[in-house]
């Protein structure tokens, strides 16, 4: 054995075998890259996707019997379909067809630099619902995803939607103005944009470590895994799309969207939500829909679907089955 082989503890034969193994991995790389880019439509393991009219690729998960009632989950900023793990598994076990997509610019979907607005988000969902031929579906959205649900349901074809659920959701509108005096000052959202542009990686640690899950509250049970999973999801997405999305979730007035919704809508909101304060969101939104119900969770944070899934999942099931 040569000096370098002795240091590494390998023989020439082992080096040769290692080289062959590397070659085999390299040969598989194009296939792996194709999977990562979403060129297959045969299940999540092979990156199920659709391509919408502007060429954007939208990744989605679609689990369970295709004949079962579909539940479609819409994630918040700046996350991905993975944020719904606790709900996807729960409702799959209950016999539903469960679907979750990565919004354009987020997760495994195309890192778009255009179309990062609520109307286009809704258009993408319209195309997804058509592609999967979803009928009598329940659409559940968290935070920005709640805005997406409102925008989609207001535009959906008859028969596509059975019910909607907005959890810690942004509608009617977040930013403060003369017509929305209880909103958050624009400087709050300017701060979001500045923090994202300056150091996105640190910002995406600070948000889940603090207000998102209420981990900044005295006596909070902090989960490093939850914090790291939030960071992981955020960093997979595109910085430009996530930057643009701040304007979409804070400045889009969805008053008219809410007024157009005909199906039953459940609003679920924690009264200790530090991201989307309840007084200027759910408490206003429930008055705008034709058939709305508000369920308030005392002391629960914005990320309560994760921290209190054991409570919210049965409540969601009860609403769906009602």
Hey, which residues are catalytic here? Answer: 143, 273, 302
Tokens of 113: 């630099």
**Dihedral angle sign, alpha carbons of residues 199, 103, 148, 322:** negative
How many angstroms separate the first and last alpha carbons of the chain? Answer: 74
**Dihedral angle sign, alpha carbons of residues 276, 248, 173, 319:** negative
Cα gap 53→268, rounded to integer Å: 33
Cα gap 18→73, rounded to integer Å: 44
Tokens of 32: 């792996």
Sequence-ordered list of residues with C-beta below 8 angstroms from that of 17, at least 6 positions apart, any chain? none
Q: With H, G, I as helix, E, B as strand and everything else as coil, classify residue 49.
A: strand
| DSSP conformational letter for 64 | S
Sequence-ordered list of residues with C-beta below 8 angstroms from that of 32, at least 6 positions apart, any chain? none
Tokens of 40: 């297959």
H or E element, residue 13 = helix 12-36
């Amino acid at each position: 054995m040569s000096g370098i082989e002795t240091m590494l503890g390998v023989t020439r034969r082992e080096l040769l075998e290692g080289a062959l193994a590397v070659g085999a991995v390299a040969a598989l790389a194009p296939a792996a890259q194709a999977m990562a880019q979403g060129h297959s439509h045969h299940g999540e393991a092979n990156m199920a996707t659709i391509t919408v009219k502007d060429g954007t690729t939208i990744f989605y998960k679609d689990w369970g019997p295709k004949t079962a009632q579909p539940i479609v989950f819409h994630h918040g900023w700046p996350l991905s379909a993975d944020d719904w793990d606790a709900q996807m598994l729960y409702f799959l076990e209950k016999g539903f067809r469960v679907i979750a997509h990565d919004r354009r610019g987020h997760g495994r979907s195309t890192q778009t630099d255009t179309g990062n607005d609520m109307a286009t988000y809704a258009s993408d969902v319209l195309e997804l619902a058509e592609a999967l031929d979803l009928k009598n579906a329940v659409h559940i959205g968290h935070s920005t995803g709640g805005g997406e649900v409102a925008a989609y349901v207001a535009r959906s074809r008859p028969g596509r939607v059975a019910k909607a659920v907005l959890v810690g959701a942004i509608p009617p509108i977040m930013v403060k103005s003369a017509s929305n005096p209880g909103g958050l000052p624009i400087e709050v959202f300017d701060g979001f944009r500045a923090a994202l542009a300056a150091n996105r990686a640190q910002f995406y640690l600070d948000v889940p470590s603090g207000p998102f899950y209420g981990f900044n509250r005295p006596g909070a049970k902090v989960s490093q895994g939850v914090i790291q999973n939030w960071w992981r999801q955020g960093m997979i997405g595109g910085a430009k799309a996530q930057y643009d999305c701040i304007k979409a979730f804070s400045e889009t007035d969805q008053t008219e969207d809410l007024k157009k919704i005909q199906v039953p809508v459940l609003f679920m909101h924690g009264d200790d939500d530090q991201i989307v304060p309840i007084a200027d969101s759910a408490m206003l939104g429930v008055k705008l829909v034709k058939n709305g119900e508000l369920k308030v969770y005392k002391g629960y944070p914005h990320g309560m679907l994760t921290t209190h899934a054991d409570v919210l999942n049965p409540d969601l099931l009860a609403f769906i089955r009602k």
